[in-house]
Structure 1
Amino acid sequence: MFGYVRPFKGELLVKEYDAYKGVYCQLCRAIGDHYGALARLALSYDCTFYALLALNQKNASVRAEKKRCTCNLMKKCTYVCPANGDGYSEACFHKAAALCVIMTVHKLRDNIEDESFFKGLAARLLCGLSGRAMKKASADYPFMAEAVQRMMDAQHAAEHAERVSIDACSAPTAELLETLCQELGETEADKAVLGQLGYFLGRWVYIMDAADDLPEDLRKKNFNPFVEKLGLSAYLGGDLPQEQRDAADRECNAVLNGSLARMRPAVNLLPEGEFTGIIENILNLGLPEMQREILFLHIKEKKHGRSV
């Protein structure tokens, strides 16, 4: 995933922020426990959100536990752990940990394809070192590995089609998150709500990444669906003039707002649980704030979730 799905800290209650950090830290520990210490590099905000959504769906039994940080023994962390060996909450963290590994390895493979041999050396090394973790994660959750592979194949086809469109390019990511979120529901009603949430969140994530990367993709002549949509081919290999940059930012923002609007009815139908406030903060406030930072404040450094 891309690291865009994160809370707006300024509007979180103190207890909510502590709970979010606790889930984040427990996910880090779960990744290490299941897939090895190196796999912790795959930790992201996006998969933390997935863990929160899974835990909240059945109001999983969890407790706070203060222990040494798994990455920095000089630091103490408060972990949100499964309470009394609760199998469902343990499965939520395991599933989110597997998603971290699978998505990260596929992202590394994608980077290897896009970069030259020497620029892609780091990705090749990490991809090679992640082989065992990827194999184990795929065996633990085959449906997840298959869904991600389908997404990557469909993404490649959409981006190399004769006619490129935002809808076609964003659909594979949207359908992946739809599948992953639907799997968390038990009833048909739950699956419908989670599916709509996942679909439009996935669409938003892909479009946000494309909008964020647009100036760099233009300079490097890389693929970006907004180049054709906004008629920016003349600027390939260079920088956008300020007037065109502002117009592009406004257009990208409008497209993103469309996905947010379609997502909100599903957000309102999510079950009430211990993490509802955090989830609503992320979807209703965190995503719009990310748009503001990237498109209007031009904060280019992506927040990939290494610390909170």
Structure 2
Amino acid sequence: MFGIIRPCRHRLSERLQASWMAHLCGLCLALRDDHGQLARTATNYDGLIISVLVEAQAAAGHTAAGAGRRTAGPCPLRGMRTASVARGEGARLAAAVSLALASVKIRDHVEDQDGMFARRPVAAGARAVTRRWDRKSSGSASVVGFDTSVLLDAAARQGELERELPAGGSVLLVTEPTETATAAAFAHTAVLAGRPGNEAPLAEAGRLFGRLAHLLDAAEDQEADAASGAWNPLDATGTDRAEAERLCRDAVHGIRLTLRDVELTDRALVHILLAHETERAVERVFGRPGHAACRVGHEPGATPGSHPEHGHAQHGHPDQGTTGSNPYQTPPRHDPGQAPPQGPGAPVPPWVPQGPGFTPPGAPPPNRRNLLAGCAAWALMGCTCQLLCCEHNHPFSGERREGFCARNECCDCGNCCDSCQCCGENAQCCNDCGCCDGCDCGCDC
């Protein structure tokens, strides 16, 4: 289960990337240690913000002495490498909250009879899992002084609000239970870190984060819900997407302002996740204001590789125009009476994609394995971590592919050079993927 916070490794400095992975692995291992192997499926990106907040508020000597880290053993998802991972009360609180929220999510799927949950045996098994996870999360949360009944009560109240919502009611009435639950979780991080002065601002930041998460989820699922006839808060309250976007952007701005009142020992990662990645989450759902044509070739009538406000190629030399070696150039038009050169011996035009994963022009496609042989090859490569860690031949098509760990699926030109607005530190653009290193200054821009 992934959340709205999805930081790309090209937007984080090396230190912040290591810290992010430490909290992600720490959450996964805390779920395993406290609740069993199945509970690791509840790992989610938004939940580990709890662990990040606890560590960011800890005393300076706590992290420096290594009390918040431990060395974990090899893991296939890390390429069978060891790693330093987060531990302690922050990771346990994040695990308890993630498990409780996963239980609520599964229960919602069962009640709505979504997909396979419409089958009685699957629904019965899912209900048993949710009851077990409710007990487990409550027990582990009580160890760190948190009461998960706040989360479960909010989930129960959510269903009542949806059923009793008056026609034309405010969408903020629907988001209130989510806001209350996240506010309680965020505020308790201040209790664990011994920072009572941070409780109020963190509760406000959590409330806005809960509102943002609920609205973005509703906006993302709006079309699918309309097609399936499922209940959607935006449609039920008559809230258009422009108003939903305004509420989301207001929530992001409110989070930024609230974080200024939070006393943190190290605010760099918190600032990246809650101030910048929340904004990118809004852009991912609603688009980037004033940058509708940022992606190459996505604007009707726009020349691929050029920006609508400039007459030169964005990723090439200014004098390059639309010819030469620019990979985003427009293919030249051929004379109607003359066919373009074809065949194995014909020159490869510069606009034809080449390299690993692409079949050369005129060459037959690679031999494909049948289903049985492909599954056997896939299982072998998965068990030996070839699919995760290194460049490999696709088990079915035979095409050359990068490992899952090396792929950068979250990059797009919409985030090109969007670095820290204050200092621009580490803002090194990569023309290949359009992303840049995130700022590691921890400023309050």
TM-score category, normalised to shorter length:
0.7 to 0.9
Out of 107, 110, 134, the residue aligned to residue 109 of structure 1 is 107
Out of 236, 241, 260, the residue aligned to residue 252 of structure 2 is 260
2:209, 2:114 → 1: CA distance? 31
| Residues 99 and 144 in structure 1, CA contact (< 8 A), matched pair in contact too | no
Aligned-residue Cα RMSD (Å) equals: 2.8
2:58, 2:116 → 1: CA distance? 47
Q: What's the counterpart of residue 235 of structure 1? A: none
Change (3 A) 1:182 1:112: same
Out of 259, 267, 271, the residue aligned to residue 280 of structure 1 is 271
Deviation readout 1:104-152 (Å, 9 max, x if unpaired): 1111001101116854345653442454343122123254320111111
Deviation readout 1:160-218 (Å, 9 max, x if unpaired): 22413211001111011111122222455311111111111111111111111111111
| Residues 208 and 256 in structure 1, CA contact (< 8 A), matched pair in contact too | yes
Q: What's the counterpart of residue 224 of structure 1? A: 232
1:55, 1:119 → 2: CA distance? 38
> Given the alignment of the two structures, is residue 100 of structure 1 paired with residue 98 of structure 2, yes or no?
yes
1:10, 1:26 → 2: CA distance? 22
- With 9-18 and 197-206 compared, the bigger mean Cα shift is at 9-18
Paired AA for residue 292 in structure 1 = E
> Given the alignment of the two structures, is residue 178 of structure 1 paired with residue 177 of structure 2, yes or no?
no
2:200, 2:35 → 1: CA distance? 32
| Residues 255 and 275 in structure 2, CA contact (< 8 A), matched pair in contact too | no
| Residues 103 and 133 in structure 2, CA contact (< 8 A), matched pair in contact too | no
Change (3 A) 1:7 1:124: farther
1:13, 1:124 → 2: CA distance? 45
Paired AA for residue 44 in structure 2 = S
Paired AA for residue 285 in structure 1 = H
Give the CA deviation at 1:8: 4.9
Paired AA for residue 28 in structure 2 = C
Q: What's the counterpart of residue 159 of structure 1? A: 162
Paired AA for residue 71 in structure 2 = E
Change (3 A) 1:9 1:92: same
Q: What's the counterpart of residue 29 of structure 2? A: 29
Q: What's the counterpart of residue 295 of structure 1? A: 286
2:79, 2:272 → 1: CA distance? 31
Give the CA deviation at 1:257: 0.6
Structure 2 residue ranges without an equivalent (≥5) = 289-403, 409-445
Change (3 A) 1:290 1:144: same
- With 170-179 and 250-259 compared, the bigger mean Cα shift is at 250-259
Change (3 A) 1:175 1:22: same
TM-score under structure 2 length normalisation:
0.57
Q: What's the counterpart of residue 137 of structure 1? A: 137
Change (3 A) 1:144 1:206: farther
> Given the alignment of the two structures, is residue 67 of structure 1 paired with residue 59 of structure 2, yes or no?
no
TM-score under structure 1 length normalisation:
0.80
Deviation readout 1:219-270 (Å, 9 max, x if unpaired): 1121112114447xxxxxxxxxxxxxxxx54332212011112222211222
Return the index of the structure with the highest Cα Rg: 2
- With 194-203 and 262-271 compared, the bigger mean Cα shift is at 262-271
Tell me: higher relative CO, structure 1 or 2? Use CA pairs within 8 A at least 6 residues apart.
1
More helix by share: 1
> Given the alignment of the two structures, is residue 201 of structure 1 paired with residue 202 of structure 2, yes or no?
no
Aligned to 2:262, what secondary structure does the other structure show? coil
Paired AA for residue 186 in structure 2 = C
1:290, 1:141 → 2: CA distance? 29
| Residues 57 and 190 in structure 2, CA contact (< 8 A), matched pair in contact too | yes
Out of 236, 242, 254, the residue aligned to residue 250 of structure 1 is 242
Q: What's the counterpart of residue 215 of structure 1? A: 223
| Residues 2 and 209 in structure 1, CA contact (< 8 A), matched pair in contact too | no
| Residues 8 and 289 in structure 1, CA contact (< 8 A), matched pair in contact too | no
Change (3 A) 1:117 1:225: closer
Aligned to 1:46, what secondary structure does the other structure show? coil
1:230, 1:292 → 2: CA distance? 22
Aligned to 1:78, what secondary structure does the other structure show? strand
Q: What's the counterpart of residue 240 of structure 1? A: none
2:154, 2:74 → 1: CA distance? 37
1:36, 1:22 → 2: CA distance? 20
Change (3 A) 1:150 1:18: same
Identity %: 20
| Residues 72 and 83 in structure 2, CA contact (< 8 A), matched pair in contact too | yes
